[in-house]
Amino acid sequence: MLQIAGIDVGGTHVDGVILLGGKILAKEKVDADQQNLVESIISLLRKLVATPSLQPDQIHLSTTLCTNAIVNGALDEVGMIIQAGPGLNPSFLRCGDHVFFSDGAIDHRGHVVKKPDESLLAEAKKHFRDCGLDSIGVVTKFSHRNPVHERMIADNMVDSFSHISMGHRMSGLPNFPRRVYTTWINSGLQSRFDSFRKAILSGFAKLGLNCPCFILKADGGTMPFDLGARLPCETVHSGPSASVMGGLALAPVDDDAILLDIGGTTTDIALLAQGVPLFEPYGVTIAGRPTLIRALNTRSVGLGGDSTVAYRDNEFVIGPGRVGPPMAFGGVVPTPTDAMIVLGQLPGGSREKARQAMTALVGDQSPVHTAKQLLETFCGQLHRAVEQMVEEVFSRPVYTVSALLGRKRLEPAELIVVGGPASAMKNCLGENFKIPVTVPEHFEVANAIGAARTRPTMQATLFADTSEKILSIAEIGHREKIHNGYTMKDAEKRLTQVITSLARECGMGDLSDIEFIERQELNTVSGFYTTGKILSLKAQLMPGLNKI
């Protein structure tokens, strides 16, 4: 059995575990220095492997590196070439100061309508070079159907720049603005991720570790560190995804369920459909930009143990911000944590100060009463946020009669809670949600456990048009000729090959879990005769836990 190290870089701490199967061999925590993540990670790992018998065979790392860079506006300057074709006026696309709109177009069936003007491209190239840019992003509308213009432009640039990201390699999904933002973000992260990876690997080497290293993605899976260098954007939001996978590892369920990670300032909510976490329909939205970065459907609400609380018009106003520590720990503003301390549900802190906090909120009743009311309000607000999320999932657009008639609303039968205040909130949450609540053991290192237990995920999207005799698989930039009798069975076989070879690159053997989704097969008719079929099919490896 393999020893796997799971490391999760959070906002304040870096947590780590070494697992042997489901067993925790070691767990450690160090402060996170966001300015020097490499140092924090290496020092944590040094502590983890201090015992000679602990020698991980694999390291899984979840890091805030890319999320921070995006949120802090620290992306590299990128030269963007965008071909929008007919449709929305593309001038809204904000990708820094070096955006060139190319002419030419590809239509919805992947037909080339008009080639881009090469003299304009040469002008763009010169401008990018004059500005000293090193990262380029190239995106065309409908490149998931036909990447020919993206490739042509990239080929034109490749001799002059170190990093080139093409839209179709980011995702096989439609949505042009998201493809543009994803490509821009990816391009702007490449050099940063590259140096991070080199520093980490050299740190590992100094500790005598040269085992395979995987990096966590927003979709609840991992990818090899090397692949991360090509697709660094996929590593954003890996914290919430580690938390979801940790919750799953610590408290497996088969039913529809809710996962709450209650932190100091926010609570992250995730939904499970028959034990499987749900995805965002397209991808995560980060720093206001919608993307195609595949991600688990999590939502962060501004309700945490240390949220500020006020009492206005006979109601508690909780969050969304945090001013400082709870009053019981020397703060100046009442918080839900103070209420938990008053009720004796959380150890530590000054109970007297916590009572004062409750009295400061409502003067004319007992602190215990106020504390109860405050926590009920807290749970009520979480409940409403969960219900809203369930409704949104139910309302996602469907396009077939059978899908519309077959829609089912999630009916959560269990609530899994992790995070600092989890135990203290257990009863109150149970009363409010009226379903069983589980607070798993070791929940304080749920993210690190989630990181350690997670396995690679991947997806590939096939689009075939038998009347045009063309097949394309965007994620690997593949396009081939097919015969006009090509069928859905052939498509399944082809995608299985693609996923299998991608998985081999990730060092995976067992592939029992290839899942085909979003199957669509439509006849194309010209005049009144059927001329062929349009097939589309997506295959994926679902996020899941390594078998133990």
Q: Could you list the residues that contact another protein (CB under 8 A)? A: 84-90, 92, 94, 105, 107-109, 113-114, 141-142, 174-178, 181, 281-282, 288-290, 395, 397-402, 404-405, 407, 520, 522-525, 527-530, 534
Q: Give the pair of three-digit tokens for residue 116.
A: 């881009």
* 54/148 with CB nearer another protein: 148
Considering only CA atoms, which of 83, 145, 108 is closest in space to residue 461? 145
Rounded-to-integer distance, Cα 319 and Cα 300, Å = 12
Rounded-to-integer distance, Cα 233 and Cα 235, Å = 5
Considering only CA atoms, give the Rg of the chain. Answer: 25
* 111/129 with CB nearer another protein: 111
* 113/323 with CB nearer another protein: 113
* 13/179 with CB nearer another protein: 179
Rounded-to-integer distance, Cα 213 and Cα 146, Å = 34
Considering only CA atoms, which of 213, 207, 212 is closest in space to residue 46? 207
Residue 436 CB neighbours (<10 A): 11
* 181/214 with CB nearer another protein: 181
CA 502 to chain centre: 20
How near is the Cβ of 480 to another protein at its closest, in Å?
Answer: 21
* 43/285 with CB nearer another protein: 285
How near is the Cβ of 395 to another protein at its closest, in Å?
Answer: 6
How near is the Cβ of 286 to another protein at its closest, in Å?
Answer: 10
How near is the Cβ of 84 to another protein at its closest, in Å?
Answer: 7
Residue type, 428: C
Rounded-to-integer distance, Cα 328 and Cα 36, Å = 32
Q: Give the pair of three-digit tokens for residue 153.
A: 């432009």
389-405 burial string, b = 16+ CB within 10 Å, else e? bbeeeeeeeeeeeeeee
Considering only CA atoms, which of 13, 2, 1 is closest in space to residue 448? 13
* 57/392 with CB nearer another protein: 392
Q: Which residues contact 356 (CB under 8 A, 6 or more apart)?
A: 327
How near is the Cβ of 149 to another protein at its closest, in Å?
Answer: 14
Rounded-to-integer distance, Cα 508 and Cα 198, Å = 24
How near is the Cβ of 92 to another protein at its closest, in Å?
Answer: 4
How near is the Cβ of 517 to another protein at its closest, in Å?
Answer: 15
* 161/279 with CB nearer another protein: 279
How near is the Cβ of 528 to another protein at its closest, in Å?
Answer: 5
| Cβ-contact 102, 157 below 8 angstroms | no
* 92/509 with CB nearer another protein: 92
Q: Give the pair of three-digit tokens for residue 212.
A: 């395979």
In this structure, what DSSP letter does residue 134 have? -
* 279/378 with CB nearer another protein: 279
How near is the Cβ of 289 to another protein at its closest, in Å?
Answer: 5
> 105 has which bridge partners?
114
* 196/463 with CB nearer another protein: 463
How near is the Cβ of 193 to another protein at its closest, in Å?
Answer: 22
Three-state SS for 295-309 is CECEEEECCCCCCCE
> Among positive and negative, which fits the CA dihedral 547, 417, 270, 7?
negative
Question: 3-state DSSP call for residue 335?
Answer: coil
* 57/518 with CB nearer another protein: 518
How near is the Cβ of 525 to another protein at its closest, in Å?
Answer: 5
**What Cα–Cα distance (Å) separates residue 301 from each residue in 66, 321, 326, 458, 541?**
22, 10, 19, 29, 29
Rounded-to-integer distance, Cα 246 and Cα 244, Å = 5
* 205/398 with CB nearer another protein: 398
How near is the Cβ of 134 to another protein at its closest, in Å?
Answer: 24
Peptide bond into 320 cis (omega under 30): yes
Considering only CA atoms, which of 516, 509, 492 is closest in space to residue 456? 509
Residue type, 264: G
How near is the Cβ of 403 to another protein at its closest, in Å?
Answer: 8
